[in-house]
Amino acid sequence: MRYSYGIVDKKKILLYQPQLFLRRDEILIFPSRDFHAWYGDIKEYLDSLYQINAKNIGESEPISLTELTLAVGIINELAEELECLFDCENKVDLSYQYISTMAERYKKLSSNYSSDMRKCDIRIPVKPEITPYLKYQHIMEIIRHAEREFERSRSNLKDKPKNSQ
């Protein structure tokens, strides 16, 4: 996403990277510190959801109802926080800023769709359509090859006794 920082100068904003925007682009302007605080809050909620999941990675028991209600509660808070972005009356709490330090391995989602299942589901489209004629030709080819091999082995057997004599 194209974004740029800028500094307010009287009634205009001097952009640090104006080359990213086209002339007459419609833009949204947020105060930088407030935006980062909002971003940190949302990230904190998402990390907490990952934490609920991470607790259940090693366990044999599946997720419980209490954990589900906790997760949905977090989602509701997240939705409210999302709306706070456009609420002018809302005073942003700048005393606390969250920076996500969660390791990537906790964010890995184990899916029940295994690689074997995927191999079964892959359908490879074959360029020449397999008609009954093609199947017949294929079988005949195998038969002819087998016949040749058989003849060759029979001729070898006939030759060997003659050579040995």
Which residues would be at the binding site for other proteins (CB under 8 A)?
1-15, 18, 21-35, 38-39, 42-43, 46, 49-50, 53, 62-65, 68, 71-72, 75-76, 78-79, 82, 84-88, 90, 92, 107, 109, 111-112
Min CB(151)–other proteins separation in Å = 58
Min CB(123)–other proteins separation in Å = 21
N-terminal to C-terminal alpha carbon distance within the chain: 88
Amino acid (1-letter code) at residue 123: R
Q: Nearer to other proteins by C-beta: 73 or 142?
A: 73
Min CB(122)–other proteins separation in Å = 21
The alpha carbon of residue 85 and the mean position of all alpha carbons in its chain are separated, in whole angstroms, by 28
What is the dihedral angle through the alpha carbons of 17, 20, 23, 27, rounded to the nearest 10 degrees? -80
Min CB(114)–other proteins separation in Å = 13
Query: How far apart, in whole angstroms, are the C-alpha atoms of residue 23 and residue 16?
Result: 15
Q: Nearer to other proteins by C-beta: 86 or 96?
A: 86
Amino acid (1-letter code) at residue 105: R
Query: How far apart, in whole angstroms, are the C-alpha atoms of residue 61 and residue 84?
Result: 37
